[in-house]
């Protein structure tokens, strides 16, 4: 392979690596935001379940207080029942006693429902607590790792810039200008591997004579379709 083309391939490889590292850095804030959002979601979901458990306990206490009041009322009604003197009064107080007993049963059913729900919720909270902590710890560590990766990536980019300068020094100015022009028009990809008579960048077939010359000579050839400089990877 033409030495100049080999240098261009090396330059493109370095620049693609730099672009990849820069993309990783630009992605860090998005990744951190996503991790933090997931962490917040898990915590909020846990907090909602805890709040629900507390609310159920509060409802139970309120209902139990109401039942105590109804039992007190029922006791008084039963005391009054023995003191009534007419059938009408007896019927009326008996109706009140029945109503109070029905209210008590209804409230006790509600208390049982709340107890069952809260028991299930507390079991679920207890079972999930250890796993939730481990998951939150993992997410927090992932966030720290993302934050730590930026200076490491910056350092690697700085090394790659030095490597690029060294490679550029071995390329003629005119050819480097051509490379830059093509790269600027082709999203940073100025060279394309030729493989099995195809340009692997645009996937258009290379003219047979051009491909034959590419295999046999060290001249520089470009793709008729995308204008990228062609090279053979096995010749590197």
Same domain, 39 and 103: yes
Q: Residue 1: what pLDDT?
A: 64
Query: Torsions phi, psi of 171, nearest 5?
Result: -115, 135
189 in the same domain as 96? no
Confidence of residue 90 (pLDDT cuts 50, 70, 90): confident
Residues 146 and 228 in one domain: no
Q: What is the mean pLDDT of the chain?
A: 92
Distance CA 1, CA 4 (A): 8
- When pLDDT is cut at 50, 70 and 90, the band that residue 178 belongs to is very high
User: Which token pair is 22?
Assistant: 């820069």
- Predicted confidence band of residue 24 (pLDDT cuts 50, 70, 90): very high
Confidence of residue 89 (pLDDT cuts 50, 70, 90): confident
Mean pLDDT of 100-108: 94
pLDDT band per the 50, 70, 90 thresholds, residue 235: low
Are the C-beta atoms of 146 and 32 separated by less than 8 Å?
yes
Same domain, 37 and 150: yes
Residue 1 and residue 184: Cα distance in Å, rounded? 24
206 lies in which domain range?
175-235
User: Is 60 exceeded by the pLDDT of residue 236?
Assistant: no
What is the number of alpha carbons within 13 Å of residue 145 lying toward its C-beta? 8
Q: How far is CA 44 from the centre of its chain?
A: 16
Domain of residue 160, CATH code? 1.10.287.1490
- What ranges in 82-200 are assigned the alpha helix state H? 87-169, 173-185
* Per-residue pLDDT tens over the stretch 109-126: 999 999 999 999 988 888
Residues 23 and 84 in one domain: yes
Instruction: Looking at the structure, tell me whether residues 98 and 186 fall in a common domain.
Output: no
- The stretch 56-84 carries a mean pLDDT of 91
- For residues 149 and 187, membership in a common domain is answered with no
Instruction: Give the count of domains, the chain.
Output: 2
Boundary-marking domain end, from 171, 187, 207: 171
Q: What is the pLDDT of residues 33-61, one digit of tens each?
A: 999 999 999 889 989 999 999 999 999 99
Question: Mean pLDDT over residues 66-74, rounded?
Answer: 93
């Amino acid at each position: 392979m033409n030495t100049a083309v080999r240098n261009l391939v090396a330059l493109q490889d370095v620049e693609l690596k730099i672009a990849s590292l820069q993309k990783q850095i630009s992605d860090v804030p998005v990744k951190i935001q996503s991790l933090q959002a997931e962490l917040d979601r898990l915590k909020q979901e846990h907090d909602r379940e805890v709040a629900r458990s507390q609310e159920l306990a509060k409802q139970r206490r309120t209902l139990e207080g109401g039942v105590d009041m109804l039992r007190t009322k029922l006791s008084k009604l039963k005391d009054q029942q023995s003191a009534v003197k007419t059938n009408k009064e007896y019927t009326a107080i008996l109706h009140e006693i029945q109503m109070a007993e029905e209210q008590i049963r209804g409230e006790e059913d509600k208390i049982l429902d709340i107890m069952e729900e809260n028991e299930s919720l507390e079991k679920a909270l207890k079972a999930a607590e250890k796993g939730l902590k481990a998951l939150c710890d993992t997410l927090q560590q992932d966030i720290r790792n993302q934050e730590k990766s930026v200076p490491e990536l910056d350092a690697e980019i700085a090394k790659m810039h030095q490597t690029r300068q060294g490679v550029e020094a071995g390329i003629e100015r005119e050819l480097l200008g051509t490379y830059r022009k093509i790269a600027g028009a082709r999203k940073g990809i100025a060279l394309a591997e030729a493989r099995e008579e195809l340009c692997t960048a645009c996937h258009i077939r290379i003219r047979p004579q051009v491909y034959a010359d590419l295999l046999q000579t060290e001249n520089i050839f470009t793709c008729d379709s995308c204008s990228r400089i062609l090279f053979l990877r096995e010749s590197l």
